[in-house]
Amino acid sequence: MTDDLKAFEVVDERKGSSRSEGVRSLRADAWHDLRRNPLFWISAALIVLFVVMAIAPGLFTNTSPRETVLSEARTPPSSENWFGRDVQGYDLYARCIYGARASILVGVFAAAGTAIIGTIFGLLAGYASGATDAVVGRVAEIFFALPLILGAVVILTALPPSDEYFVIVFKVVLVFWILGWPTIFRLMRSSVMQVRPNDYVQAARALGGSPWRIVTSHILPNAIAPVIVVSTINLGVYISAEATLSFLGIGLQPPTISWGVMISDALVAMRSAPHVLLFPAAFLSLAVLAFIMLGDAVRDAFDPKSR
């Protein structure tokens, strides 16, 4: 009896191992590919670094980003101030570290929010189809007609100015939600429509699964991959767009510390003190780059066509 059981276990083990080498699920396969991609590790490391910077800037520096030494304004990098001081005499290194929070907050909330709104409406339109699809589709088309920066300019000039840190950040995030969800919606809708005719969905329906169950446990997990990829790339795009809006004077504004605000302040002094521009621009670009590279790496891993 016990021997029999043992024999079973052995067989089971073999089965398990042969499964992991031979036929892998799409997700396991993608992870297998990702692990071998150096770009994935570089971008993941950068993202972890920036997120830690955003949560706990105190780990990286003891200098206050709001402490100004006017007499030392525009001094180039030295052993005391690693990145030098900016136009107002602030320590650039400290400000670059503290600036991560606003940019990462905007990027994460904007990307997560558009992903959630777009996914919900995409599931609704793609699964329900018919009249619901037509209505949601028409509404999305209207929002889709407003290009990101143009739309943001209009909405942000209309919203009342504010001094609260979170209100300032939230306004920019809100604008990205309003203008960004149709992209995700379109993606999700077409992805759902590809998944819906599959046999396992038909089987679940034949077995009497409720629409809620079919959508959440069969359609959503199989249709979400493109949304995750595009949202990751968009996270970088939103960080960059925030900087552009801050440059135009309608995104984040001082006293908020963000890379975008720092860069637009630095442009005035570019000719005499280029390092004031260099460091925040480098931080911003690295963050944007990290998210775009991560999205690309995940896409390559999930997309069988690219192999």
Partner 1 sequence: MFKFTVRRLLQMIPVIIGATFLIYWMVFSLPGDPTAGKCGDRPCPDAYVAQFEEEYNLNDPLLVQYGKYMAGVVQGDFGESYYGVPVSEELSERFVVTAKLGLMALGIEAVIGILAGVLAALKKGGFIDNVVLVSTLAVIALPLFVTASVLQLYLGIRWELFPVTVGSDTSFYALLLPAFVLASVSLAYLARLMRTNLSENLGSDYVRTARAKGLPQSRVVGVHTLRNSLIPVVTFLGYDLGALMGGTIVIEGIFNIPGVGNYIYRAINDRDGVVVVGAVTALILVYLFANLVVDLLYGLLDPRISHD
Which residues form the interface with partner 1 (CB under 8 A)?
Answer: 138-139, 141-143, 145-151, 153-155, 157-161, 236, 240, 243-244, 247-250, 260, 263-264, 267, 270-271, 274, 277, 281, 284-286, 288-289, 292-293, 305-306
Beta carbon nearer to partner 1, 2 or 306: 306
Beta strands in 136-205 (DSSP E): none
Using omega within 30 degrees of 0 as the cis cutoff, is the peptide bond preceding 255 cis?
yes
Minimum CB–partner distance for residue 39 and partner 1 (Å): 10
Minimum CB–partner distance for residue 298 and partner 1 (Å): 15
Beta carbon nearer to partner 1, 178 or 204: 178
Q: Which residue has the tokens 């000039």?
A: 157
Beta carbon nearer to partner 1, 158 or 206: 158
Pick from 109, 102, 78, 105: nearest CA to 91: 78
Cα separation, 291 vs 307, whole angstroms: 22
Beta carbon nearer to partner 1, 55 or 150: 150
Q: Which residue has the tokens 């994935």?
A: 40
Residues 54, 239, 73: CA angle, nearest 5 degrees: 65
User: CB of 74 within 8 A of CB of 274?
Assistant: no
Minimum CB–partner distance for residue 1 and partner 1 (Å): 56
Minimum CB–partner distance for residue 190 and partner 1 (Å): 14
Beta carbon nearer to partner 1, 46 or 204: 46
Beta carbon nearer to partner 1, 107 or 236: 236
User: CB of 57 within 8 A of CB of 93?
Assistant: no
Residues 103, 108, 114: CA angle, nearest 5 degrees: 125
Minimum CB–partner distance for residue 243 and partner 1 (Å): 5
For residue 85, the SS3 value is: strand
Pick from 72, 103, 78, 86: nearest CA to 275: 86
Minimum CB–partner distance for residue 220 and partner 1 (Å): 26
Minimum CB–partner distance for residue 55 and partner 1 (Å): 23
Pick from 91, 67, 69: nearest CA to 80: 91
Cα separation, 249 vs 261, whole angstroms: 9
Beta carbon nearer to partner 1, 201 or 288: 288
Minimum CB–partner distance for residue 202 and partner 1 (Å): 26
Q: Which residue has the tokens 């990145």?
A: 83
Beta carbon nearer to partner 1, 116 or 139: 139
The one-letter code for the residue type at 85 is R
Cα separation, 63 vs 273, whole angstroms: 21
